[in-house]
Amino acid sequence: MKIVILASGAGSLAQAIFDSVSAGELSVEIIGVISDQPAAPVLDRAVQLGIKTFVVPMKPERLQWDRDLFAVAQSLNPDLLVSAGFMRILAPDFVRRFRIINSHPALLPNFPGAHAVRDALKAGVTRTGTTMHWVDEGVDTGEVIAQVAVDILPSDTEESLHERIKIQERGLIVATIRTLIPIYSQSLESEK
């Protein structure tokens, strides 16, 4: 299975995937990393491993950015796109064309959007977590694939809670990709 990782930041989720592939624990081929941030540390992580990187910086004209992102992804022709901290909403045409999974730091459908950890703390809930879901045309509204709960401690700040969620998120993203490999292997065989 050929995957492309979409990421905007440091790349700790991407690194979990890189490490699992390097260790032989995950049988996928990472054919590229796409970022919207030219200085994103995830790009350096990928380059160090010999993984091709592509930067599609946001443009004043959003439709042009959507077209540019689509063109890069289409040129790579992945079996699966993995959104691992990619902080952009994807265009409807994009999500209809590609199979995309996303990692989100909350137990969806609770706390969708960019401030999930902050929102969970503000709501006063005692439990949150991480969700892997299919990407659809909404914001964090796609079908849930898997979730792991994380208790919120009385002493938690947004940063401390997010760090504990990320630990679970790294394991869940790898486990989710692993569960999808047989499904994609069967569909690739039937297409031949």
Q: Determine if the peptide bond prior to 92 is cis (ω within 30°).
A: no
Q: Do 163 and 128 form a contact (C-beta atoms < 8 A)?
A: no
Look-up of token digits 């004209």:
61
80 three-class SS: strand
Say whether 104 is catalytic: yes
> What is the spatial distance between Cα 108 and Cα 71, in angstroms, rounded to a whole number?
30
**How far from the centroid of its chain's Cα atoms is residue 138's Cα?**
15
Please give the single-letter amino acid code of residue 140: D
Pick the catalytic residue: 104, 115, 133, 162? 104
* Largest interatomic CA distance in the chain: 55
Task: Quote the distance between the C-alpha of residue 89 and its chain's center.
Answer: 12
- Contacts of residues 62-65 at CB distance under 8 Å and 24 or more positions apart, as own/partner, are 65/36
Helices (H) then strands (E): counts for the chain: 6, 7
Active site residues: 104
